[in-house]
């Protein structure tokens, strides 16, 4: 248990950040699966889904949930895969 108010606050903040990061990563995975499912079924709307995924990648890299190089790597993969 925390020994001071400051360490208690730090524990609470870390928990909130971890939850936020988990939500962002889950959203990225879900969007990636959506793009791949559209690609396999050859449905329209794959371009819009890919653009949305790239947007999520940029937002995740902006708040340092994922490394910016990982975001660039995935964006490059999407560009090769989609276009």
Q: Which residue has the higher pLDDT, 62 or 80?
A: 62
Whether residue 80 is predicted with pLDDT greater than 90 in this model: the reply is no
Domain extents in the chain: 27-82
| Mean pLDDT calculated for residue range 4-25 | 95
DSSP per residue, the chain: --SSHHHHHHHHHHHHHHHHHHHHHHHHHHHHHHHHHHHHHT-TTHHHHHHHHHHHHHHHHHTTSS-HHHHHHHHHHHHHHH-
Quick: pLDDT tens for 30-75.
Answer: 999 999 999 888 878 888 999 999 999 999 999 999 999 999 999 9
pLDDT at 31: 95
Distances (CA, A) of 47 to 31, 58, 59: 12, 17, 19
């Amino acid at each position: 248990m925390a020994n001071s108010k400051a360490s208690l606050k730090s524990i609470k903040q870390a928990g909130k950040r971890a939850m936020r990061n988990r939500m962002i990563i889950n959203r990225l995975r879900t969007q990636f699966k959506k793009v791949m499912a559209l690609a396999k079924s050859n449905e329209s709307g794959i371009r819009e889904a890919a653009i949305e995924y790239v947007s999520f990648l940029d937002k995740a890299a902006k708040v340092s949930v994922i490394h910016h190089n990982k975001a660039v790597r995935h964006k490059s993969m999407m560009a090769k895969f989609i276009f």
